[in-house]
Amino acid sequence: MSHAVRPERRIHIVQGEYKVTDDPDVVVSTLLGSCVAACIRDPSTGVGGMNHFLLPGEDGRSHDHEAERYGDYLMELLINGLMKQGAHRDRLEAKLFGGARMMGGLSDIGKKNAEFAERYLEHEGIAVIGKDLGGERGRRLQYWPVSGRARQAYVAPGGIDEKPLKPLLIRDVGDVELF
């Protein structure tokens, strides 16, 4: 009896998007600079997802076509999408990535995004079990929503930096594979 290996399906998301799935063969990927991606799952039901937001939320902003760029809107969509597929709010766990300071001299939107994401999840009672936020380099991120596995590579100015990372650059990453 032969065991066929099922092919992995890659779904790439960009700013303003999110994806929820319970398919163990799906990996969700994105490229982050100052943006933040929240990877959230319910380990008991095997449903998870990722979002990618450009700016933190703003009080008093209406949910119009511009809303899709904002963290508060995308966090709400991701959490509601998880619950619609059977996840339970009290079992959700999250990993956060991104929030780099990409340009000196300008306001540090990456830091604001990272602080927003952490504050939002704390307010919602969702445990952050791993994170890699800040720094000055972009990241390529892959997330397997069903297993919760995450893998990232830092992006150097000329592409992917293949030098080993210094341990001091890794901040509370939990179960994260760096490559």
**C-alpha distances in Å from residue 46, one per residue of 8, 38, 52, 124, 149:** 16, 17, 21, 20, 12
Picking from 76, 54, 75, 77, the residue whose alpha carbon sits closest to that of residue 66 is: 54
Task: Give dist(CA 139, CA 158) in Å, integer.
Answer: 13
170: phi > 0 → left, psi -120 to 50 → alpha, else beta; which?
beta
* DSSP three-state, residue 115: helix
Task: Give dist(CA 162, CA 155) in Å, integer.
Answer: 9
CB 40 within 8 A of CB 93: yes
**C-alpha distances in Å from residue 21, one per residue of 11, 62, 102, 172:** 10, 28, 31, 26
Residue of 13, 32, 35, 79 marked catalytic = 35
Across the strands, what pairs with 9?
26
User: Could you confirm whether 39 is annotated as catalytic?
Assistant: no
Task: Give dist(CA 123, CA 107) in Å, integer.
Answer: 25
Give the active site residues: 35
